[in-house]
Amino acid sequence: MSLSRLIAGFVRQHWPAYLAAGAMLAGVAFLGILVPRRIGAMIDGLATHTLSGSGLLLQLGELLLIGVAIYFLRVGWRLRLFAAAYLLGVQLRTRFYARLSLQGPAFYQKQRTGDLMALATNDIDAIEMAAGEAMLAGFDGTLTLVMVLGVMLLGVDWRLACIALLPFPLMALAFWRISSHIHTASTDSLKRFSALNGHVQETLSGVRALRALGLEQRSSQQFGELAGHAAKASLTAQVWEAAYEPAVGLTLTTATGLTLGLGGYLVWQGELTIGSLTAFSIYLGQLIWPMFAAGWVLSLIERGRAAYARLQPMLDAPLAVDDHGTIAQLPPGELVLDKVEYRYPGQAADAEAALKDISLRLKPGQTMGLVGPTGSGKSTLLRVLLRQLTPQHGTVRWGGHALDQYTLSALRSAISWVPQESFLFSASIADNIALAREHASRADVEHAASLAAIHDDILLFPQGYETEVGEKGITLSGGQRQRVAIARALLANNSLLLLDDALSAVDTGTETRILEHLEELRRAGHQSGAERSAIIASHRLSAVVNADLIIVLRDGRISESGSHDSLLAQDGWYASQWRYQQLEASLDAL
């Protein structure tokens, strides 16, 4: 879809606002062309001594009323038109945000956060201006041009009008050349700003690493270079936009000279009155706005086109996971994976798949442990269950239905997920925990925090649960962030809990307390009929000792499965890793 089609569709959707604004602009243009004729008539009346003092005051009063009417009409069309144009920005940002929220990890591996932020702000602002300011200036300028030329040709003198229009084709040619340069310069300016924005975002996110490595000066130099490039590109675009003014000035100066030359001759010959020449000169001055409007519209349109050319690929980017399911609620049931295989996009054809021939069953209320070496596919398997990734082969069923038959919102609202890198928002601890349940009471929040073994730590903060955690939870330790994220997941009280190595930053004692609380919740859910299943992926085998089923993944395959005791009896990878970790724990205790 082109920018013109986007704006046309938006105008059709909000035609009452545009129609009202257009009507008020037409009123402004009509009243505007009355002023020169009134002034010309007043001058002729004064020159011929046919205008009395009272008549002069009356005509001056009429001019004042016209000015007041024009003022209120201009305020009115701005209110109507810009209120509508801002809606386009809201719609685009909402659509863009919704698209980003549905994209998978593969999309974000190719895109920089700073670039996406620039698209959501600077680029959409440019499109919004094209739909608002450009539409306004284009309509107003065109209407004023047509009406003023009509009056000049039919109401004053057609000979003056024709000679005044002689320089205008040259101005049109200049506008065409300038607009092409503006498009190129605007595209470069938006890209430079995006690069600068990306650098700032990455620098602020990694400021502690930069300080630790002593890279502040290098980062500052890079920022200076990017800022300089962005400023230069923006200046280039502004220079070309400023080129419209000399083109307009030269055209109108030439037209004025030609008009005064011919008009003076006609007045000398008695074929034109001084009042008519004055009125024509004022009308010629009124052409300044249509000419500037033309340049302004071309500038805004080119900036909007450049911005939309950058935004459209993001809006049209295919989703990593299609949300075409129809079932809006997940029933209690068994989770079944049948010969699931997943290969990451871009992998070589001869490379090993991340998951191969994965078949397993998790009954309601059961806990499954997921262990294996680094890179064995644990996180990938959990992301398949979340439908962040779609397996190329095999099926995943929940409650007798394939996962893709459920809507994404229904599926993910039934799953509580705590990833390896726990993310906290820049808000209070209480708000971060209550994120899973918007209307949760403080008692519910504190209960969830107690289950996650973080309640006592929170009370040690001066502001307790109202403590602001900072961006990404920077004020908390790694273990505290993990436990706050676990509390958030437990408060959601969903059917399936996924812990992706979410206990790696806590000590073994705290880990034991959390696991005991999870077991209590599971038993309570079984007694109440609200079965809650859990899958715990961990490098620390002590986290899965009490699981009903333990799956060992190696190179994307299930190499061992069973309970803790049966796996020890098999004397495979699990047993050797258990002995090693137990020895390591005993040495740490010394």
Confidence of residue 1 (pLDDT cuts 50, 70, 90): low
The pLDDT tens digits for 143-162 are 777 776 776 676 666 777 77
| Confidence check: pLDDT of 590 > 60 | no
Residues 179 and 234 in one domain: yes
- Do 398 and 285 share a domain, yes or no? no
Give the residue carrying structure tokens 């990404």: 472
Domain assignment present for residue 456? The answer is: yes
**Residue 235 in domain:** yes
Among 83-97, 368-382, 385-399, name the one with the lowest average pLDDT.
83-97
Q: Which residue has the higher pLDDT, 64 or 287?
A: 64
Residue 455 in domain:
yes
324 inside domain: no
Q: 34-56 burial, b for 16+ CB within 10 Å, e for fewer?
A: ebbbebbbbbbbeeeeebeeeee
In this prediction, residue 348 carries a pLDDT of: 63
Which of 290, 316, 342 terminates a domain? The answer is 316
Q: What is the mean pLDDT of residues 553-565?
A: 90
* Alpha carbon 7 to chain centroid, angstroms: 19
Domain count, the chain: 3
| Cα–Cα distance, 304 to 166 (Å, whole number) | 32
Domain boundary (316, 342, 364) is at: 316
12-21, 282-291, 309-318, 422-431: which has the minimum mean pLDDT? 282-291
Residues 170 and 296 in one domain: yes
Do 7 and 149 lie in one domain? The reply is: yes
Which has the closest alpha carbon to 123: 354, 310, 267? 310
In a domain, 326, yes or no: no
486 plus 502 within the same structural domain:
no
- 367 shares a domain with 343: yes
How confident is the model over 355-371, as pLDDT tens digits?
998 999 988 888 899 99
Three-state secondary structure readout of 61-97: HHHHHHHHHHHHHHHHHHHHHHHHHHHHHHHHHHHHH
Q: What distance in Å separates the CA atoms of residue 241 and residue 178, rounded to the nearest whole number?
A: 8
| Domain CATH number, residue 457 | 3.40.50.300
* Domain range enclosing 431: 422-493
Q: How confident is the model at residue 370, as a pLDDT?
A: 92
Q: Which of 79-83, 170-174, 264-268, 418-422 has the lowest mean pLDDT?
A: 79-83
- Average pLDDT of the segment spanning 253-276: 73
The residue type found at 555 is D
Q: The CATH number of the domain where 92 resides is what?
A: 1.20.1560.10
Both 30 and 60 in a single domain?
yes
Say if residue 215 is in the same domain as residue 274. yes
DSSP class of residue 461 equals S
Phi-psi region of 501 (alpha: psi -120 to 50; beta: other; left: phi over 0): left
> Element (H or E) spanning 315, and its range?
helix 288-316
More confident residue, 165 or 229: 229
Q: Are residues 453 and 409 in the same domain?
A: no
In a domain, 322, yes or no: no
Torsion 555-561-567-572 (CA) sign: negative
321 inside domain: no
Check residue 553 and give its pLDDT.
Answer: 92
Residue 60 has a pLDDT of: 75
Same domain, 190 and 107: yes
105 and 141, same domain (yes or no):
yes
Final residue of a structural domain among 493, 516, 532: 493
Residues 165 and 25 in one domain: yes
What residue has token string 């003056």?
A: 160
Q: Please give the mean pLDDT across all residues of the chain.
A: 79
Residue 329 lies in a domain: no
pLDDT over threshold 70, residue 74:
yes
